[in-house]
Amino acid sequence: LSLFLFHFSATVTTMTERIQINPQIPDAAVLARAAKILRDGGLVAFPTETVYGLGAHALDIAAVRKIFAAKERPSWDPLIIHVGNLAAAVALTRKIPPFFEALTTEFWPGPLTLVVEKSPKVPDEVTSGRKTVAIRMPAHPVAHALLEAANLPIAAPSANKFGRPSPTTAAHVLEDLQNGVDLVLDAGPTTLGVESTVLDLTQNPPKILRPGGVTRENLAKILGEVEVARGVSAEIEREGALAPGMTEKHYAPRAQVELFEANLHDCAARMRSRAEQLQRDGKRVGLITRADDWERFARELFAKLRELDAQKVEVILCELPPAEGIGLAIRDRLLRAAGKSEL
C-alpha cells in the first residue's frame, strides 16, 4: 500500500491556477503576479478581445518551447508576439515596411496581426525559423495591462490544444490545457470570438494570410485592393512547404461538420431535412444557426462547437455566412472545421 501511495503522489502534476479578474479594471496585484510568472519563464493564459491566448516571454527560448509542448503544437507553426506599445513592436522588426504606420494608427490596439521582417533578437523558436515575425497590439484591458506590468513582448497563440476550436472562455482553456500552464486569468467570455486578421506586409501588395477581426473591407480603405491567401494548395506552391495556420482540418470539434450557405433561399429547409435524415440513421445531430447578426454568431461559434462536442453530438449542421465583413473569417474557420478549403 505504501508503494502504491508513493507512486500515486509521484505522478500528480501541479494544477493550473485560475484567478477571476475584472475585464474592465483589472486588479494590479493579480497582474503583478502574472507578470512575475512570465518574467520567470512560466506560462499565463489571458483574455484578449479575440480569444484567450497562452502567453510566454517571447525572447525566452525555454519559455517559448513550453507553449508548443502545452498546446501540442507542431514546431512549424509560428507564434504571434503581443506588444503593449508601438516602440515594442518596432524593436522586434528589422525594417518598417510600407503601410505599417498607417495600419497601426488605424487598427492598433485591435485584432490585426502584422507580419514583418524580424529583428535578429526574435528567437527562431517563435517564428518557426522564418525571417518574418507576426506582431499584434491587443485591445483587451487585461491583455494591455498585463503587457504593461510585465514590460515584455509576449508570444501568445490561442490557448487551445492544436487543431481544436479556439478558447473564448477560461473554462475552454482548462478543458484543453491541464498541464504546464501556471495561471489562467479569467475575465469572462471574449467579445469578438474569432482570431485576429493576419496580414503579410512583406509582400507587395500586402496579403491576408488569415481573415479575422479586422475586415478585408476596412483594410481596403488603407491598402486599396487586398488579396486573401487562397489556402493550403496555393501556399504550398509559393513556399514549397506547408504554410502556417493553413492545415486543412483546424478549429475542429470532434463531431463531423456539414455546412449550408446561409444566403441560399432554402437554407433552413435543407438543414432541417438533412437533420431528419441523419436522425433516421440513428445519429446525434446538432444545429448551429444565426440568431441575429453574424457578429454575435462569431462571438458564440467556438463555444457552441465545444458545447455540442460535450453533448456527444456526431454531426453538426451549421449555417455559413456570405464572404463579407466578419463573414469572411467565420467561413474560413468553418471550412477548416469541416476539413475543406472550399465548399
Summarize as ranges the residues that interact with Mg ion (CB under 5 A).
158
Residues 202, 206, 210: CA angle, nearest 5 degrees: 100
In single-letter form, the type of residue at position 198 comes to: V
Nearer to ligand AMP, 36 or 65 (CB): 65
In whole angstroms, the minimum distance from the beta carbon of 296 to Mg ion comes to: 22
Nearest residue to ligand AMP by CB is 245
Nearest residue to Mg ion by CB is 158
In whole angstroms, the minimum distance from the beta carbon of 195 to Mg ion comes to: 6
In whole angstroms, the minimum distance from the beta carbon of 240 to ligand AMP comes to: 15
Residue among 88, 99, 136, 339 nearest 219 (CA): 99
Which of ligand AMP, Mg ion, none sits in contact with 198, Cβ below 5 to 8 A by type? ligand AMP
Which of Mg ion, ligand AMP, none sits in contact with 333, Cβ below 5 to 8 A by type? none
The answer to whether residues 55 and 156 touch, using CB atoms and an 8 Å cutoff, is: yes
Q: How far apart are CA 328 and CA 217, in angstroms?
A: 10
In single-letter form, the type of residue at position 15 comes to: M
> What string of DSSP letters covers 25-93?
S--HHHHHHHHHHHHTT--EEEE-SSSEEEEEETT-HHHHHHHHHHHT--TTSPPEEE-SSHHHHHTTB
Which of Mg ion, ligand AMP, none sits in contact with 115, Cβ below 5 to 8 A by type? ligand AMP
Binding site for ligand AMP (CB under 6 A): 77-78, 80, 115, 127, 130, 132-134, 157-158, 195, 198, 209-210, 244-245
Which of ligand AMP, Mg ion, none sits in contact with 319, Cβ below 5 to 8 A by type? none
Q: Is 186 left (phi over 0), alpha (psi -120 to 50) or beta?
A: beta
Nearer to ligand AMP, 260 or 302 (CB): 302
The x, y and z cell numbers of residue 59, run together, are: 525572447
In whole angstroms, the minimum distance from the beta carbon of 200 to ligand AMP comes to: 6
In whole angstroms, the minimum distance from the beta carbon of 244 to ligand AMP comes to: 4
